[in-house]
Structure 1
Amino acid sequence: MTTPDILLYTANTMNGWKPLIFLHEAEIDYELVPISFSKKEQKAPDYMKLNPNGRIPTIVDRGNDDFAVFESGAILWYLAEKYDRFLSHNPKERSETLQWLMFQMGGIGPMMGQAMFFERIAKPNGDDVPFATKRYVDESRRLLEVLDTRLAGRDWLVGDAMSIADIATYPWARSYFWATVSVEGLPHLQAWFDRMDAMPKVQEALQLPEPRPSAFGKGDIDAAAKANAARFKEA
């Protein structure tokens, strides 16, 4: 049996799902190494040699002298170039893809991540900061409105097919429930969700390394929220 080129270290988070979605949609064989936050495996010395920031995801390309890539956006760009998938050859569309990828990396991710922190971690642990919570929830909503405007009259963020910009943005934007951000009145965004939701391999990827339905407003939300808050309290 041939050893896959790509060795993927990841966890079931919004950033952690990005390379999984790419690899499943592109039907690329890979080896998965789940990272346990409770065991602080992301801070293990051997792992930090691959990812100095001690975060997930990280890939190692065995087919390229064990070249390591960290940061989820950089991983998507690397995979897109390696496998010639989900990245246009047209220079303008290529630039647009990079722009929307950076929009996710610099806006959607950080803002929704902070909204999730203050709503799902700080508040349940007795550190309710209404000003900060409102600031990040409101900014997250504004950014989702930008996406809604972009998606008016188009199926995908760039061009006429799914790109790494869609792959990067979907896990974050689709987790609006967990960030307590409303998507009411955003029909183009919701139609885009429906398109991504209907893709079997995307949904397959979201089950790994283990399912986390609470991120998308499903399952036992209360139990998941309590467990999540408790995990960070103990960290």
Structure 2
Amino acid sequence: MAQHYFDSDPGAASRPQSVDLVLPDLHLRLHTDRGVFSPDRIDLGTRVLLESVPAPPAEGRLLDIGCGYGPITLTMARRAPGASVLGVDVNARAVRLARGNAHANGVGNARFRQIAPDGTPVAEAPQDEPAEDAALAGPFAAIWSNPPIRVGKAALHTLLRTWLDRLAPGGAAHLVVQKNLGADSLQRWLDAAGYPTERVAARAGFRVLRTTR
């Protein structure tokens, strides 16, 4: 059976490696593996997002939807050391890698949680932390995400509704989506679904969308 990065327990044989995320304000060495999103390099869409978004709120709860091995979450945490940053993903292998990357890079204000597609926490005993589970409810002062477009339109819309409804009043979500994978149609859907959305950046075939409640 085909394995995807949005599977909860990818069966791809492990092949650990590392990649570097180098931005003007930070450098992170990140451990990756097969079975997670973009294991061989920092995805171009992720880079476009991180080079385009304004600084995150300095405090409060911040969220990365579909965190993978952690590049977006850890960047948010480095840029907002006074905030509490949560990365969520359905992929257990990705979550384990992200936790290790936070520790290896000395990022103490980032936490990661495996979730089911509906946003509920997956039991991970003995690592369960009730406070982190409660934090899933938000509200979130900001959301950054390179969402899993290939999961399918219906699943993607459910995912986005789940988390966008947890934005704090006045909060904003920044999403990066490849134009050829439906960035413009997603923007129209978000507007129609009650989430006012504007395009705030475009580069290398990607759109960065800013969405509010």
Structure 2 length normalisation: TM-score? 0.31
Higher relative contact order (CA 8 A, sep 6+): 1
Which has the larger share of strand? 2
Greater radius of gyration (CA): 1
Structure 1 length normalisation: TM-score? 0.29
